[in-house]
């Protein structure tokens, strides 16, 4: 692209730009508001002057001689007929106007004050603090001065009318001064004495004749005369006069500000003279920054910036003509204001108080600041985040036959995304086959690049022909095929497991397919979730993705220190059914269960029943375990699981054994063996579980939650008892005899006691219900195995839903002192305060339903608020921590190499490599030592000798050799 060699940036400075610099870098002066002439050629010294760069392909840039694409464009300039204020600096201009003398332009501070602010600035710089506070304080102090400490000139207040007008507020002699003096000389109510002009003349020391002239309005008193009269008569003869400061005045004012005074205001005078904030020259952006578009009808449509520049040049021209023609001051000022407006909106078209410049259609123009600002602006929209090629997005759906490393990619996506194939002798055949298949048929190709660099599109028509021409050195953009590596992502990408690499499996239909065991890391489900896929475009990226990002490499979560991928839901129910009661299977059944695993031979049978061999569930499960695995832990179901030498001897395999989020067996295999072994294990467990659950069959219905009438009677009785207890409590409370609990009021105490009683009622209802469910109840199986749901869910379905709450209290809102109009005021009973005594299966009555909805709504609001709050919190935390890195010396440092932790995590271990059991030490050194010794020495005696556990027989003399030989074996 560019022929320039890349240059290293050593320093960036920010400052104002000298108008002279604008002229120097300008490729041409722009004087004509028109763009193209009648023949469609750009007009010289017009806005589309060819010296400003080229946008049409084939043309040559008149400044640098390059063609479009390689020429970046060149700035031009407009000589403004009159100086104009730069909106971006309106605040700084105001500050300078207020802080400097209107006459001598010096900063309105004594030398000692200057020195003080100078030092404060220096300190702020040293401490890396904002300089704004100091410079603001300096201006504030300067503004307090009524007179310039250097030249004595009285100072006036400067008012700023947004965006670009400045006024000096002066006190001048009122036009009705004779009337005011006359009325002040009239006798007032207190002393009743009229002051004669002679008396006034005596008092003020003004000549009597002059006083008469003043009174008649023939003579305007000078300032000291005016002040004398004012003090003598106690009258105010002035009025405010707004003296508008023209940009040219301001420019002259700023030009005279001495360099050393600017230092105190935090401005570097070498780089930024304040008068440069008043524009006399306007740079014209190169045409490449404002390209015109040719519409379908051949008409040219200009960029918004060009439109704005046209306006500026037109007014500029008119201004000059009018001034030369000696137009009245009023007209000149109007044009000046108009020019100011156009220059202002050229830079920022969203200034409050200024109507935005509009397109002919009424749409506000997108000018310079609008291009940069906001979410779609240059920074957030084009630099920090951009749209990418080779990406796809569609709905996801499950496919348990895929490996967890794979992703099913729809054929139509696979034939749109391509991988570049560098053709050589070895893959020539393949490349030709891809090209000959064309772009439509699946393993085809979309583009080829010949050795000379020319890119050709493969079409249905030319594919056969092109395939024959393919040879070594060509590049073929072939379709995605099975085994290619792609990156797969689901938003929100909250942790690193939200973006993982998968191997492609091309499939029919329109959805991405994934193995259900990768749902937890992505937090995905199949209720309409969509996910993104990115096809990698170079060998380094593909290699890194395979080694670092593949799903199996991400099996252990660094956040949790344990596996995040594993069996979920029905998989867990399946392994539970297989191992909990340890059922027996005949040969056909056993082989059927293991069909989808790599095991195709059954182990020795566990015994015979009715003359036929049988295998138990635990034996079948053991087939999936590594042969030398030893493990002991407690399962979710509560029994003890023992695995010895890869055989499950006892216990239930459930969520705590194979589940995602810390299944012991998965975690151990991934850490002790390898991630690959872990992946094989999870794949096989999930297929075995699916087979198992299909073998037994698993469903749930309303009847599974019903309890016998006598149990229902017991539940009702328990609830009735609780109701009575509550009534009792209310009675005691109303009689004023309730003893408050320590630190609580009586009201709080009765609430707490009622809550407690009702809580107990729900629990006992649950217990009664539970007693009537056998182990084979599907809801119990799911809760017991940790597959889904809890016993609490079950008691709510069968026993009693229980107390509904809003803000942690029983429901007490609605009407005055009652929740619904159905209740008496002040009714504290259970049903009046949101206790739901029915179960979900029985159904809720209308009042209960309403209370339940209140509680449910609070839950929904809470989650909505929590996600947004915690999301922002996490974002800030991540931004604060991104630059921390664990170094090779074990320390954690930030990018400036300051140490944050002297040892990573204080123990220098990675959570994904050490035991996930918090009760035992992260690294068991003894166990490691034993392992090393075991593999190092085949022979126990040698090992013991190495460890110094057996003492060598002593041999002090050769005469004792017989004895020595007898002691040792050889």
**Which range of residues in 193-201, 310-318, 754-762, 893-901 is near other proteins by CB under 8 A?**
893-901
Residue 903 interacts with other proteins (CB under 8 A): yes or no: yes
Residue 897 interacts with other proteins (CB under 8 A): yes or no: yes
- Please say whether the beta carbons of 290 and 303 come within 8 A: yes
If we measure between CA atoms, which residue out of 848, 724, 698, 843 comes closest to residue 779? Answer: 698
- Kindly tell me which residue out of 905, 928, 930, 953 binds other proteins, with binding defined by CB under 8 A: 905
Q: Which two tokens stand for residue 368?
A: 């310079």
**Which range of residues in 138-146, 190-198, 303-311, 905-913 is near other proteins by CB under 8 A?**
905-913
- Please say whether the beta carbons of 946 and 937 come within 8 A: yes
Closest CB 673 distance from other proteins, rounded Å: 25
Q: Which is nearer to other proteins, 126 or 189 (CB)?
A: 126
Which residues touch 423 (CB under 8 Å, ≥6 apart)?
431, 470, 471, 472, 473, 474, 475, 476
Q: Which is nearer to other proteins, 352 or 898 (CB)?
A: 898
Q: Which is nearer to other proteins, 527 or 889 (CB)?
A: 889
Closest CB 92 distance from other proteins, rounded Å: 34
Q: Which two tokens stand for residue 139?
A: 């201006």
Radius of gyration of the chain (CA): 44
Task: Judge whether 716 is annotated as a binding position.
Answer: no
Q: Which is nearer to other proteins, 291 or 908 (CB)?
A: 908
Closest CB 914 distance from other proteins, rounded Å: 9
Q: Residue 83: CA atoms inside 13 Å, Cβ hemisphere, count?
A: 17
Interactions with other proteins, residue window 907-946 (CB under 8 A): 907, 909, 922
- Listing DSSP states for 77-146 in one string gives EEEEEEEEE-GGGHHHHHHHHHHB-TTT--BSS-HHHHHHHHHHHHHHHHTT--SHHHHHHHHHHHHT-S
- Please say whether the beta carbons of 476 and 446 come within 8 A: no
Task: Judge whether 907 is annotated as a binding position.
Answer: no
- Kindly tell me which residue out of 379, 509, 849, 902 binds other proteins, with binding defined by CB under 8 A: 902
Is 227 exposed, middle or buried, given 0-12, 13-18 or 19+ CB atoms closer than 10 A? middle
Q: Which is nearer to other proteins, 371 or 893 (CB)?
A: 893
Task: Reduce the secondary structure of 344-376 to three states and give it as a string.
Answer: HHHHCCCCCCCCCCECCCCCECCCHHHHHCCCC
Residue 582 interacts with other proteins (CB under 8 A): yes or no: no
Q: What's the full length of the chain, in residues?
A: 970
DSSP3 helix / strand / coil % (the chain, rounded to 5): 40, 15, 40
Task: Judge whether 525 is annotated as a binding position.
Answer: yes
Q: 834's torsion region: left (phi>0), alpha (psi -120 to 50) or beta?
A: left
Task: Judge whether 800 is annotated as a binding position.
Answer: no
Q: Which two tokens stand for residue 470?
A: 């393919």
- Please say whether the beta carbons of 737 and 776 come within 8 A: no
Q: Which is nearer to other proteins, 883 or 949 (CB)?
A: 883
Closest CB 903 distance from other proteins, rounded Å: 7
Q: Which is nearer to other proteins, 123 or 140 (CB)?
A: 123
- Kindly tell me which residue out of 124, 727, 900, 943 binds other proteins, with binding defined by CB under 8 A: 900
- Kindly tell me which residue out of 256, 395, 873, 899 binds other proteins, with binding defined by CB under 8 A: 899
**Which range of residues in 62-70, 321-329, 729-737, 904-912 is near other proteins by CB under 8 A?**
904-912
Distance CA(408)–CA(416), nearest Å, equals 15
Closest CB 901 distance from other proteins, rounded Å: 8
Distance CA(305)–CA(291), nearest Å, equals 9
Closest CB 664 distance from other proteins, rounded Å: 21
Residue 509 interacts with other proteins (CB under 8 A): yes or no: no
Which residues touch 451 (CB under 8 Å, ≥6 apart)?
471, 473, 474
Q: Which is nearer to other proteins, 543 or 928 (CB)?
A: 928
If we measure between CA atoms, which residue out of 874, 809, 798 comes closest to residue 841? Answer: 798
Task: Judge whether 74 is annotated as a binding position.
Answer: yes
Q: Which two tokens stand for residue 201?
A: 């003349």
Other residues' Cβ atoms within 10 Å of the Cβ of residue 304? 20
Is residue 885 classed as helix, strand or coil in its secondary structure?
A: strand
Asked if omega into 310 is within 30° of 0 (cis), the reply is: no
**Which range of residues in 17-25, 136-144, 466-474, 906-914 is near other proteins by CB under 8 A?**
906-914
Residues in contact with other proteins, total (CB under 8 A)?
13
Task: Judge whether 151 is annotated as a binding position.
Answer: yes
Closest CB 906 distance from other proteins, rounded Å: 4
**Which range of residues in 506-514, 592-600, 739-747, 900-908 is near other proteins by CB under 8 A?**
900-908
- Kindly tell me which residue out of 699, 735, 898, 957 binds other proteins, with binding defined by CB under 8 A: 898
Task: Judge whether 519 is annotated as a binding position.
Answer: no
- Kindly tell me which residue out of 11, 540, 627, 906 binds other proteins, with binding defined by CB under 8 A: 906
Runs of H (alpha helix) within 127-239:
132-143, 177-185, 197-204, 208-216, 223-233
Query: Binding string to other proteins for residues 853 to 892, with x set by CB under 8 A, is what?
Result: ------------------------------------x-x-
If we measure between CA atoms, which residue out of 3, 317, 312 comes closest to residue 304? Answer: 312
Distance CA(588)–CA(599), nearest Å, equals 14
Closest CB 798 distance from other proteins, rounded Å: 43
Residue 179 interacts with other proteins (CB under 8 A): yes or no: no
Q: Which is nearer to other proteins, 509 or 902 (CB)?
A: 902
Q: At 282, phi and psi to the nearest 5?
A: -115, 120
Q: Which is nearer to other proteins, 122 or 595 (CB)?
A: 122
User: Looking only at Cα atoms, what is the longest distance across the chain?
Assistant: 153
Cα distance between the two ends of the chain: 80
Tokens 């100091």 correspond to: 134
Closest CB 226 distance from other proteins, rounded Å: 58
Query: Binding string to other proteins for residues 228 to 267, with x set by CB under 8 A, is what?
Result: ----------------------------------------
Task: Judge whether 775 is annotated as a binding position.
Answer: no
Task: Judge whether 64 is annotated as a binding position.
Answer: yes
Closest CB 122 distance from other proteins, rounded Å: 18
**Which parts are annotated binding residues for Zn(2+)?**
61, 64, 71, 74, 101, 104, 148, 151
**Which parts are annotated binding residues?**
61, 64, 71, 74, 101, 104, 148, 151, 525, 527, 529
**Which parts are annotated binding residues for Mg(2+)?**
525, 527, 529
Chain residues that interact with other proteins, rule: CB under 8 A: 889, 891, 897-900, 902-903, 905-907, 909, 922
């Amino acid at each position: 692209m560019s022929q320039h060699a890349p240059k290293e940036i050593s320093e960036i400075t920010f400052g104002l730009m000298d108008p002279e610099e604008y002229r120097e870098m300008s490729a041409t002066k722009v004087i004509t508001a028109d763009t193209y002439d009648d023949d469609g050629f750009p007009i010289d010294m017009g806005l589309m002057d060819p010296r400003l760069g080229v946008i049409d392909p084939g043309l040559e840039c008149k400044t640098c001689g390059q063609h479009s694409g390689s020429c970046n464009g060149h700035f031009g300039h407009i000589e403004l007929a009159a100086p104009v204020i730069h909106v971006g600096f309106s605040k700084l201009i105001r500050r300078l106007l207020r802080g400097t003398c209107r006459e001598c332009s010096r900063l309105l501070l004594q030398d000692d004050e200057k020195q003080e602010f100078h030092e404060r600035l220096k300190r702020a710089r040293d401490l890396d603090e904002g300089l704004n506070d100091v410079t603001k304080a300096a201006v504030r102090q300067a503004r307090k001065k009524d007179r310039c400490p250097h030249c004595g000139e009285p100072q006036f207040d400067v008012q700023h009318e947004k965006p670009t007008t400045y006024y000096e507020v002066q006190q001048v002699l009122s036009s009705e001064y004779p009337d005011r003096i006359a009325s002040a000389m009239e006798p007032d109510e207190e002393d009743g004495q009229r002051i004669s002009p002679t008396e006034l003349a005596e008092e003020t020391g003004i000549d009597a004749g002059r006083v008469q002239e003043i009174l008649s309005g023939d003579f305007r008193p000078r300032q000291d005369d005016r002040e004398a009269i004012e003090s003598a008569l106690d009258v105010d003869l002035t009025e405010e006069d707004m003296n508008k400061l023209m940009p040219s005045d301001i420019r002259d004012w700023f030009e005279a500000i001495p360099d050393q005074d600017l230092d105190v205001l935090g401005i570097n005078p070498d780089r930024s003279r304040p008068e440069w904030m008043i524009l006399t020259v306007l740079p014209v952006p190169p045409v490449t920054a404002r390209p015109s578009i040719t519409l379908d009808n051949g008409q040219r449509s200009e960029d918004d910036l060009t439109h704005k520049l046209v306006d500026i040049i037109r007014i500029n021209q008119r201004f000059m003509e009018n001034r030369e023609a000696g137009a009245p001051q009023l007209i000149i000022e109007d044009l000046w204001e108009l020019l100011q407006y156009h220059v202002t909106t050229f830079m920022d078209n969203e200034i409050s108080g200024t109507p935005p410049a509009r397109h002919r259609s009424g749409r506000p123009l997108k000018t310079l600041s609008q291009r940069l600002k906001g979410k779609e602006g240059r920074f957030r929209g084009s630099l920090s985040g951009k749209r990418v090629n080779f990406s796809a997005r569609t709905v996801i759906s499950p496919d348990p036959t895929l490996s967890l490393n794979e992703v099913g990619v729809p054929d139509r996506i696979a034939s749109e995304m391509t991988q570049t194939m560098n053709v050589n002798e070895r893959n020539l055949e393949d490349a030709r086959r891809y090209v000959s298949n064309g772009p439509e048929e699946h393993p085809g190709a979309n583009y080829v690049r010949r050795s000379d660099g020319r890119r050709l599109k493969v079409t249905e028509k030319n594919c056969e022909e092109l395939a024959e021409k393919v040879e070594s050195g060509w590049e073929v953009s072939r379709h995605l095929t099975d085994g290619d590596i792609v990156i797969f992502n689901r938003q929100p990408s909250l942790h690193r497991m939200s973006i993982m690499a998968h191997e492609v499996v091309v499939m029919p239909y329109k959805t991405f397919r994934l193995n259900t065991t990768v749902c937890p890391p992505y937090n995905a489900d199949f209720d309409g979730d969509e996910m993104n896929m990115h096809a990698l475009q170079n060998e380094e990226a593909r290699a890194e993705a395979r080694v670092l990002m593949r799903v199996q490499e991400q099996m252990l979560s660094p956040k949790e220190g344990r596996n995040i991928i594993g069996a979920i839901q029905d998989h867990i129910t399946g392994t539970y059914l297989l191992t909990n009661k340890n059922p027996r299977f005949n040969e056909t059944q056993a082989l059927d269960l293991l069909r989808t695993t790599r095991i195709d031979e059954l182990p020795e049978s566990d015994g015979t029943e009715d003359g036929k061999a049988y295998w138990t569930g635990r034996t079948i499960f053991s087939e999936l375990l590594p042969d030398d695995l030893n493990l002991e832990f407690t399962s979710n179901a509560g029994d003890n699981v023992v695995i010895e030498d890869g055989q499950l001897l006892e216990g239930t395999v459930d969520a705590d054994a194979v589940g995602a989020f810390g299944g012991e067996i998965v975690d151990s295999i991934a850490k002790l063996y390898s991630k690959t072994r872990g992946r094989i294990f999870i794949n096989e467990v999930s297929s075995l579980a699916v087979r198992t659950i299909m073998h037994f069959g698993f469903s749930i219905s309303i009847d599974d939650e019903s309890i016998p009438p006598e149990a229902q009677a017991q539940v009702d009785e328990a609830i009735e008892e609780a109701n009575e207890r509550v009534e009792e409590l209310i009675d005691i409370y109303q009689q004023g005899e309730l003893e408050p609990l320590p630190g609580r009021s009586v009201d709080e105490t009765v609430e707490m006691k009622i809550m407690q009683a009702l809580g107990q009622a729900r629990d006992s209802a649950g217990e009664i219900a539970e007693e009537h469910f056998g182990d084979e109840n599907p809801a119990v199986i799911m809760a017991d195995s940790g597959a889904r749901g809890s016993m609490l869910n079950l008691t709510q379905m069968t026993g009693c839903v229980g107390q509904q709450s809003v803000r942690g209290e029983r429901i007490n809102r609605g009407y005055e002192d009652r929740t619904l109009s159905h209740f008496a005021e002040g009714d504290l009973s259970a049903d009046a305060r949101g206790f739901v005594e029915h179960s979900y299966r029985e159904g809720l009555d209308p009042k209960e339903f309403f209370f339940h909805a209140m509680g449910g709504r609070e839950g929904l609001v809470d989650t909505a608020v929590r996600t947004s709050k915690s999301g922002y919190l996490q974002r800030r935390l991540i931004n604060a921590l991104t630059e921390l890195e664990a170094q090779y010396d074990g320390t954690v440092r930030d990018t400036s190499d300051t140490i944050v932790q002297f040892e990573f995590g204080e123990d220098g271990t990675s959570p994904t490599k050490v035991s996930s059991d918090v009760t035992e030490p992260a690294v068991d050194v003894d166990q490691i030592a034993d392992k090393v010794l075991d593999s190092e020495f085949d022979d126990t005696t040698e090992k013991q000798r190495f460890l110094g556990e057996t003492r060598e027989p002593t041999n002090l003399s050769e005469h004792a050799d017989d004895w020595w030989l007898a002691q040792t074996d050889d």
